[in-house]
Every structure is written in structure tokens, then in C-alpha cells.
Amino acid sequence: MERLVKDLTHHCYLYHVLDSPEIPDAEYDKLYRRLKELEEEFNYILPDSPTQRVGAPPLEKFIKVKHTEPMLSLGNAFSHDEVREFEKRIKKFLKSDDPITYT
């Protein structure tokens, strides 16, 4: 798990800070899912685990802003069931049953 945390932290930095990823997104997602599986299997999360944060630490040159609307699409969906659950949450939030078009 420690090695996975180290590797994922490295790749996250390359992607979010340097804008220079070494691996495809799908490979990062595979490593991330493996870490989550191990954390659940052993009921243990390292303090610096990437599963406990979103993205990389913000750069100092950026100012903080408060979003006027919630950002509901930050999670990943890896199955049809997860997409359906996401759609249910969106429709509930919007108070709408209108069909959603994906592109």
C-alpha cells in the first residue's frame, strides 16, 4: 500500500501541477481503484493516501473561490450502475425527470 500511495502521489503531482503525466488516465484509475480495494480489504488507510484528497495541493498563485453551484461531477464512474446512480443524484438535485444526454 505504501508503494501505491507513493506512486499515485507522484503521478498526481505530474498531472495536476506539472501538466506532464507519465501514464494514461486509465492506468492511474486502475492503480487508484487497487489502493481503494486494499484499504477496504485491510480496513486501513495511510494518512497521506490519495483516496483522502481530491487532486493535488493548490498552487499558491491561485485564489480561492466559492462555487455558487455544487460541483456534482467530481467522482468517477467505472460501471453502468455507477453512472445510473450519478444520474439519479443529478435528477434529484435538479428536481427533474427529464432525460439526460451524455456526449
pLDDT digits 0-9 by tens, 55-91: 566 777 888 888 888 776 666 778 889 888 988 988 9
Instruction: Identify which of 28, 29, 40, 27 has the alpha carbon closest to the alpha carbon of residue 1.
Output: 40
The pLDDT of residue 26 is above 90: yes
Q: pTM for this structure?
A: 0.58
> What are the distances in angstroms from CA 59 to CA 17, 18, 25, 67?
8, 11, 22, 18
Cβ contacts of residue 4 below 8 Å, gap of 6+?
31, 34, 35, 38
Instruction: Identify which of 61, 64, 4 has the alpha carbon closest to the alpha carbon of residue 32.
Output: 4
How much is the mean pLDDT over the chain?
88
Q: Are 80 and 42 in contact (CB under 8 A)?
A: no
Q: Which residue has the higher pLDDT, 8 or 69?
A: 8
> What is d(CA 8, CA 12) in angstroms, rounded to the nearest whole number?
6
Domains and CATH numbers, the chain: 1-59 (1.10.287.610), 66-103 (no CATH)
Q: Which residue has the higher pLDDT, 75 or 28?
A: 28
Find the helix or strand (DSSP H, E) in which 16 lies. helix 2-16
User: In the predicted model, what is the mean pLDDT of residues 17-36?
Assistant: 95
